[in-house]
Amino acid sequence: MSKTLKLTEQLISLESVTPSDLGCQQLMIDMLTPLGFVCESIESGNVSNLWARKGTTQPLIVFAGHTDVVPTGPLGKWVSDPFVPTIRHGMLYGRGAADMKSSIAAMLVAAEEFIQQHPEHPGSIGFLITSDEEGPATDGTVVVCDLLKQRGEQLDFCVVGEPTSSQHFGDTIKNGRRGSMSGKLVIHGIQGHIAYPQLAQNPIHRSAPAITELTQEVWDQANEYYLPTSFQISNIQAGTGASNVIPGHLNIDFNFRFSTASTAQSLQERVHAILDKHDLNYDLEWTIGGQPFLTPKGTLSDALSRAILSETGIHTELSTTGGTSDGRFIAQICPQVIEFGPINASIHKIDEHIAVSEIEPLKNIYRKTLENILLQ
The domain limits of the chain are 3-177+292-374, 179-290
* Residue 255 confidence (pLDDT): 98
Tell me the one-letter amino acid at 211: I
Q: Out of 9, 112, 132, 133, which one is annotated catalytic?
A: 133
Query: In whole numbers, what is the pLDDT of the chain averaged over residues?
Result: 97
Which residue positions form the known binding site? 66, 99, 134, 162, 348
Q: Which residues pair with 158 in a beta bridge?
A: 62, 337
- Measured in whole angstroms, the distance separating CA 113 from the mean position of its chain's CA atoms is 27
CA distance 221 to 227: 8
68 is known as an active-site residue: yes
CA distance 151 to 314: 40
Looking at residues 346-350, what average pLDDT do you find?
98
Looking at residues 119-141, what average pLDDT do you find?
96
* Residue 341 confidence (pLDDT): 98
Q: Which helix (DSSP H) or strand (DSSP E) does residue 354 occupy?
A: strand 353-355
Sheet strands side by side (includes 172-174): 38-44, 47-54, 124-130, 60-66, 157-160, 336-339, 172-174, 317-319
Helix (H, G, I), strand (E, B) or coil at 311: helix
CA distance 74 to 95: 12
* Residue 1 confidence (pLDDT): 82
Looking at residues 233-255, what average pLDDT do you find?
97
311 is known as an active-site residue: no
User: Which one-letter DSSP state was computed for residue 198?
Assistant: G
Which residue positions form the known binding site for Zn(2+)? 66, 99, 134, 162, 348
Residue 13 has pLDDT above 90, yes or no: yes
Q: Out of 9, 68, 156, 311, which one is annotated catalytic?
A: 68
* Residue 58 confidence (pLDDT): 97
Residue 215 has pLDDT above 80, yes or no: yes
Looking at residues 192-196, what average pLDDT do you find?
98
Confidence of residue 47 (pLDDT cuts 50, 70, 90): very high
In terms of DSSP H, where are the helices of 118-263? 141-151, 203-216
- Measured in whole angstroms, the distance separating CA 103 from the mean position of its chain's CA atoms is 14
CA distance 148 to 13: 31
* CATH superfamily of the domain spanning 3-177+292-374: Zn peptidases (3.40.630.10)
> Tens digit of pLDDT for each residue in 261-315?
999 999 999 999 999 999 999 999 999 988 999 999 999 999 999 999 999 999 9
Confidence of residue 50 (pLDDT cuts 50, 70, 90): very high
CA distance 41 to 24: 12
> Tens digit of pLDDT for each residue in 313-326?
999 999 998 888 99
* Residue 241 confidence (pLDDT): 95
Confidence of residue 188 (pLDDT cuts 50, 70, 90): very high
CATH topology of domain 179-290: Alpha-Beta Plaits (3.30.70)
* Residue 287 confidence (pLDDT): 96
Confidence of residue 250 (pLDDT cuts 50, 70, 90): very high
* Residue 285 confidence (pLDDT): 98
Confidence of residue 59 (pLDDT cuts 50, 70, 90): very high
